[in-house]
């Protein structure tokens, strides 16, 4: 079910407009926000718009939740805090999520985004997401 939900997430017009790609190798999921002129917020630097970077972080958080466990629905953000650490220059941005905790209804996720060096993040996200874990066949069976 979660694979279908990842496809649903990535096909949403909002997400598709950003051109986000996901690269999954084993249990590690990396999001890629390819540079595009429409993402530039400050053409004088030029730097990507903070809203585009923040949206990218939220997309990677949701995709990572979907890839890490079977869910019945797309995760919904409850609260999200984003720290902008340095300007995201006019080039591709990469991000990875760490699932700190996932309960029956709420998951805690941290995402770091970087460009040239993974040890020099451009932004981080800390968020809580409402999740609906897939019911197992044992709990679906009549008693």
For 41, residues 6+ apart whose C-beta sits below 8 A from its C-beta are 47, 48, 49, 50, 51, 52
Which has the minimum average pLDDT: 22-31, 64-73, 121-130? Answer: 22-31
Residue found by looking up tokens 């999921």 in the block: 29
**Beta-carbon neighbour count of residue 97 at 10 Å?**
24
Most trustworthy range by pLDDT among 7-16, 26-35, 119-128: 119-128
Closest to 17 in 3D by CA, of 2, 37, 47, 44: 37
Would you give the distance in Å from CA 87 to the centre of its chain? 19
Contact 56, 93 (CB under 8 A): yes
Residue 17: inside a domain: yes
DSSP readout, 95-122? EEEEEEEE-SSEEEEEEEEESS-TTS-S
State how many domains the chain has: 1
The arithmetic mean of pLDDT across residues 45-71, rounded, is: 95
Domain, as residue range, for 49: 3-138
Quote the pTM value.
Answer: 0.90
For 99-110, what is each residue's pLDDT tens digit?
A: 999 999 999 999
User: Residue 60: which CATH number?
Assistant: 3.10.129.10
pLDDT at 56 over 60: yes
Closest to 30 in 3D by CA, of 101, 109, 111: 111
Residue 122: inside a domain: yes
């Amino acid at each position: 079910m979660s694979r279908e939900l990842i496809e649903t997430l990535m096909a949403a017009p909002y997400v598709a407009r950003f051109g986000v790609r996901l690269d999954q190798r084993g249990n590690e999921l990396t999001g890629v926000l390819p540079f595009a002129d429409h993402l530039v917020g400050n053409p004088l630097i030029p730097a990507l718009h903070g809203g585009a970077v923040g949206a990218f972080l939220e997309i990677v958080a949701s995709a990572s939740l979907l890839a890490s466990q079977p869910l019945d629905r797309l995760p919904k953000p409850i609260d999200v805090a984003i720290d902008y650490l340095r300007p995201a220059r006019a080039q591709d941005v990469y991000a990875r999520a760490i699932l700190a905790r996932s309960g029956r209804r709420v998951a805690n996720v941290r995402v770091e985004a970087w460009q040239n060096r993974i040890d020099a993040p451009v932004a981080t996200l800390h968020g809580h997401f409402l999740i609906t874990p897939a019911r197992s066949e044992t709990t679906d069976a009549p008693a």
